[in-house]
Every structure is written in structure tokens, then in C-alpha cells.
Amino acid sequence: MRFEIFSLIAVVGAFVWAFRALPMRLDLARMPEKGALARFFAATGVAAIATLFAASMLPEFAGGRSLPALIGSAAVLAVYLPSRSVVLATLAGAAAYGAGFAFLA
Amino acid sequence: MAQDFRRGALIGAPIVLGYFPIAFSFGVAATKAGLSPIEAVVMSLLMYSGAAQFMAIALIAAGAGFWISVATLVGMSLRHVLYGPSMLRAGGQSAPPKGALAWGFGLTDEVFGAGLGAFARGQAFTGGFIWGLTLVSYAAWVGGTAVGALAGASALAAWPAVDAGLSFMLTALFLALLLSIMQRAELPVIAAALVGTVGLSFAMSPTAGIMGGMILGALVGTVLGRRDAV
């Protein structure tokens, strides 16, 4: 294993660990239930997932794969709404995207 | 403890289904970019961050400088700062279950989303649950990388549609997770996050879009929550 590759992995990995594990050491017990920071953390979850979905869709549009991406997203909705299953919806979305990609190719 | 662990592992099943093929694609891409299978697997073991890992192999392949690469990859991971406290809040905990310095490393985007969904459905935030959820996800990521790296650079060349479908797996998972945790009152938060992400991605960079969109959405939620509390 090359030293420069391992160094990069080790340094970035240390930051990733610190970002994920250390903020939980904050003393949340003293945080007011309806305080601004508590509301901020409560809203972060849904905002983060919405952001990651948007960020992963943008390259699809920029890369000319908007139709397969829309077909895949529609499949996720079509399967999730009746089944309420994250597993089935995810698999259906990926399968529909692959099928749309093959059809257009 | 064992029952909670099994419950966490079960909640992590969709993540395993999403992670294994994506990690497989990462292993293939890493060997394509000139990394050895061991380097690819060590990256998944120690970085465990999909987007940053794909960016890392692009930076390595492009010959980017060490500190430029570190700054870019650390910047991409900054969003994780918010996940731990937010998860504790959602799980009704003032302090994390034991071992947070270890299982905390497993708080990826998908684990965070799946955990929030489980807490919203009444799951208790116990040590067994979070260990089950984080360990199966980590094993799928590292295992998928190893299989992909050993399969080699041309593994998916003959299967472009399968390759395409696998590449969409995480996007589909994000949408499904969003549907599982969203409530009508949170639509302004989602709208603000989407607008912020798209706007800042075009105006600045995708990394700025992710961080800015998340913070904008959370700020809108903070303001709306204040109105509800009054």
C-alpha cells in the first residue's frame, strides 16, 4: 500500500470520525426543549435527506440522464406509497432507472 | 440487547441492499483509477463515506495535491457534524448510548435517515439498536468494496444497464427515506433545502450546495418551530 494513499485515507478518516462521533459529547440535557438549537437539530434530519436527494439528482440532469432519473424516482413513489417499504421502493427505483437507461440506449 | 441488535440490523436491511452494490461499484471504480484492491478496502474501512470516497479516487486519478485533496474531502464530510446531536434529539436522548465514540463513526447519511425513520415509528434509541444498524451497514459497505475491487476494472463493462441501475441505488434510497420521515408540516423545510441545494450547487459548488441546503432547511424549520411553540 502506497504511503501517500494511506496518509490521505487516515487523515480524512480521522476527520470523518471526529465529525460524526464527537458532537454527541455536547451536553444536550441542558438544552431547552423548545430552544432554537433543539429546533435546529430537529429540523436537520429531513433537511439533510432532502438535500442529499437533490444533490444526487443534479448530476443526472447535468449528465443527460434526466429521463431515467425521473422514471426511477416515479417508481420509488409508486412503490413506496402503497407498500410503505423503503427496501422495495429503493429496489424498484434502481430497477426502473436501469430499464429506462437500457430502453433509451 | 440481542433483540434490539436484531431490530437495528433489520432496519438496516434497505441500507445493506443499497450499500453493497454501490460499494461494489466503488471497488470497481477504484481499481479502474489505479488503486490496488487493498487500498480500496482500506479506504472503505477508514473513511466509510461514499461521496467522499468517489471524490477521493477522482482526486487521486487527477494527481491532485495532498492538502487540496484533504481540504476537499473534509469539506464534503462537514455535514456529518449535525447528525449525532440531531439523532439524539429525535431519539429523545440527552446523552448517547454507551460506545458512541465507536458506533458514532457509523453515522452515515443513510444510517442517520434510517435511524430517524425508526425513532419516528416509536423505536427506542438503545445501544443494541444502534450497534445493529451501524454494523450491518458498515459490513455491507466494506464487503461490497472488497468484492468489487477483486472483480476488477472491467466487471460491469458488459452490463451497462445493471451498472446504471446500481448507480441510482443511493438516489432511490434517499427518496424512499425522505418519504418515510416527512410530514406535511415539514414541506417548507424540504422546499428550502431543495432550493438551497440547487441554487448553491450552480452558484458555487456541489459541496457548498449540500452544506448550504441542509443549513437553510434547518433554519426554516427552526423559525417555523418557533412559531408553532408560541
Q: Among partner residues A68, A80, A89, which is closest to B164 by beta-carbon distance?
A: A68
All residues of chain B having their beta carbon less than 8 Å from the beta carbon of residue A36 are 222, 226
Each residue of A45-94: pLDDT tens digit?
Answer: 788 788 888 988 998 898 888 999 999 999 999 999 998 777 788 889 98
Asked if B218 has any chain A CB less than 8 Å from its own CB, the reply is yes
CB contact under 8 A, A52 and B174: yes
- Shortest distance between the Cα of A104 and any Cα of chain B, in A, equals 10
Mutate to test the interface with B, among A7, A90, A97, A104 (most CBs of B within 10 A): A90
Q: Which of B182, A85, A86, A77 is nearest to A96 (CA)?
A: A77
All residues of chain A having their beta carbon less than 8 Å from the beta carbon of residue B172 are 72-73, 75-76, 89-94, 97
Residue B88 to residue A41: CA distance in whole angstroms: 9
Each residue of B155-198: pLDDT tens digit?
Answer: 777 888 888 888 788 788 789 878 887 878 889 999 999 999 99
Confidence (pLDDT) at B229: 47
Domain borders along chain B are 2-181, 184-230
Q: Considering only A34-38, B86-90, B142-146, which range has the smallest mean pLDDT?
A: A34-38
Confidence (pLDDT) at B230: 43
- Shortest distance between the Cα of A79 and any Cα of chain B, in A, equals 9
Residue A102 to residue B37: CA distance in whole angstroms: 30
Mean pLDDT on B90-115: 87
- Shortest distance between the Cα of A63 and any Cα of chain B, in A, equals 12
* Closest-approach residue (CA) in chain A for B52: A12
